[in-house]
Chains A and B, each alone.
Chain A
Amino acid sequence: MGLSKDQIAQRIAQELRDGWYVNLGIGIPTLVANHIPKGINVEFQSENGILGMGPFPFEGEEDADLINAGKQTITALAGASFFSSELSFAMIRGQHVQLTVLGAMEVSDSGDIANWKIPGRMVKGMGGAMDLVASAENIIVAMQHTNRAGESKLLTECSLPLTGVKCVKKIVTDLAVLEVDPERGFILLERAPGITVEEIQSKTAGRLVVEGEVPEMQF
């Protein structure tokens, strides 16, 4: 058994550093906000136009004029600010946001990411994902190691249409924490508790680099 979605988010939260502005995508990335380590101050940006995003509102306190990029009702924390879409993406492209966490369908061992389109299926659009991955200095992908068919999502080349090229820096899956080195491939940094290197190797289709003893994740 690998990590739950919430544990993936918890492990990613360990990557947060004091003073960072962070953009969290929809799905597992959203859960990262529930696990901010003690003593760390970060602000969450949602690309529809808020910095200082807070938790969901209490029932009866929802405001139609206050939503996140997933169109969910949210709250604004003290110190929050609102802004337009062009300013929001100026923050993103201008690298004022230190970390982007998002989900993916596939990641290649050179850091390419595919997460917006499956040929033959209804295409909903890339939203802000292409802007985010093209610009962010630090991109962490949160995803399952394999798809529903049990096939690896960590590949030599993405088979799906790309969202961005050579951009993913780190991946946290239910099985492992991996760093992406475009020259060498996926560097295995940590294993999920109880998961063997062999299992990770068998479920990673792209180049996997295993160096020395690979420690288990600590929570």
Chain B
Amino acid sequence: MSANNYISKVVPNAAAAIEGLENDMTVMFGGFGLCGIPENSIAAIRDAGITGITCISNNAGVDDFGLGLLLQTRQIKKMIASYVGENDEFERQMLSGELDVELIPQGTLAERCRAAGAGIPAFYTPAGYGTEVAEGKEVRVFNGKPHVLEHAFDAPFAFVKAWKGDKAGNLIFKGTARNFNPMMAMAGKITVAEVEELVEVGELDPNSIHIPGIFVQRIFQGMDYEKRIEQRTVRAKSE
């Protein structure tokens, strides 16, 4: 028996967490819109000046937040996403040809992440059949319905954000900030998890873990979360 009985994944900060990340890599970023994005890791990548990044992320942030920060500094070469509105700089770079964009259906994006982490090289999905998304892809009929062959992603790095995590890398997400974070954690060869609250092992109930630490290679306590709201929508008290 070792002294700890667990494998520590803790690194001191975001700068240490991105070690080994190089130019021209494919990188996954968790989050939906600005909800559940790895704010600290994005800032560290910006500060490190890593360029030529191929991003796999459902969205591309807004002009001055989220992945928009890496677009401002031209660190992103290609964006693989399902929806990229709400970002003027993105639009400018896309229309000028500076930025390569691949749009794929959201469920296919999620499943290509899951498959990557689950050892499934490819799968058939009905999504996109008969549309330009299916062009050049194998189509096969199952139960009388055509399906499109889609492949697992291959990403050396994944950056995810969780609500709570322990030193062994076990993660718990909050609300809809879970979104793409779990399957991207599974998919990354090196998965970096930043958390709002890093706790000792034993403090999280094993029954409540959303992502076991086996999928997480590095974890750190995030700082100064802004958690910006993209569409603040409220109702009047009288309703």
Q: Quick check: A131 and B106 within 8 Å, CB to CB?
A: yes
Residues of A close to B113: CB separation below 8 A: 86
Number of A-B contacts (CB under 8 A): 178
Q: Quick check: A125 and B83 within 8 Å, CB to CB?
A: yes
Residues of B close to A76: CB separation below 8 A: 175
Stretch with Cβ within 8 A of A (4 or more), from B4-12, B19-27, B43-51, B122-130: B122-130
Size class of the contact patch on chain A: 35 or more
Q: Quick check: B128 and A134 within 8 Å, CB to CB?
A: yes
The B contact surface, by secondary structure, is: loop
Contact of B33 among A63, A67, A164 (CB under 8 A): A67
Q: Quick check: A84 and B182 within 8 Å, CB to CB?
A: yes
Contact of B235 among A55, A70, A112, A126 (CB under 8 A): A55
Q: Within the complex, what minimum Cβ distance (angstroms) separates B30 from chain A?
A: 9
Known contacts A92-B107, A122-B95, A131-B105: A163-B114 contact under CB 8 Å: no
Q: Quick check: B106 and A128 within 8 Å, CB to CB?
A: yes
The A contact surface, by secondary structure, is: loop
Contact of B176 among A62, A66, A128, A135 (CB under 8 A): A66
Q: Quick check: B103 and A93 within 8 Å, CB to CB?
A: no
Is A149 an interface position by the 8 A CB rule? no
Interface size on B (CB < 8 Å)?
59
Contact of A65 among B36, B110, B111, B126 (CB under 8 A): B36
Contact with A along B133-175 (1 / 0, CB 8 A): 1000000000000000000000000000001000000000111
The distance in angstroms between the C-alpha atoms of A95 and B107, with both chains bound, is 13
Q: Quick check: A71 and B234 within 8 Å, CB to CB?
A: no
Residues of A close to B210: CB separation below 8 A: 84
Contact with A along B211-239 (1 / 0, CB 8 A): 00000000000000001111111111101
Q: Within the complex, what minimum Cβ distance (angstroms) separates B196 from chain A?
A: 10
Segment 98-148 of A: residues with Cβ below 8 Å from B: 112, 122-131, 134-135
Q: Quick check: A93 and B126 within 8 Å, CB to CB?
A: yes
Residues of B close to A161: CB separation below 8 A: 131-132
Listed A/B pairs (21) with beta-carbon separation below 8 Å: A46-B176, A48-B35, A48-B179, A50-B176, A55-B239, A58-B234, A64-B229, A71-B34, A71-B231, A73-B232, A84-B180, A84-B182, A84-B183, A85-B107, A86-B110, A86-B182, A122-B91, A125-B81, A125-B82, A125-B85, A130-B133
20 new A-B contacts at CB < 8 Å, known A65-B177, A85-B183, A123-B103: A48-B176, A64-B228, A65-B227, A67-B33, A67-B231, A69-B32, A82-B173, A82-B176, A84-B181, A85-B110, A86-B110, A89-B107, A93-B126, A122-B94, A124-B83, A125-B85, A128-B82, A135-B127, A164-B130, A166-B130
B residues in contact (CB < 8 Å) with A: 32-36, 58, 81-86, 91, 94-95, 103, 105-111, 113-114, 125-133, 163, 173-183, 210, 227-237, 239
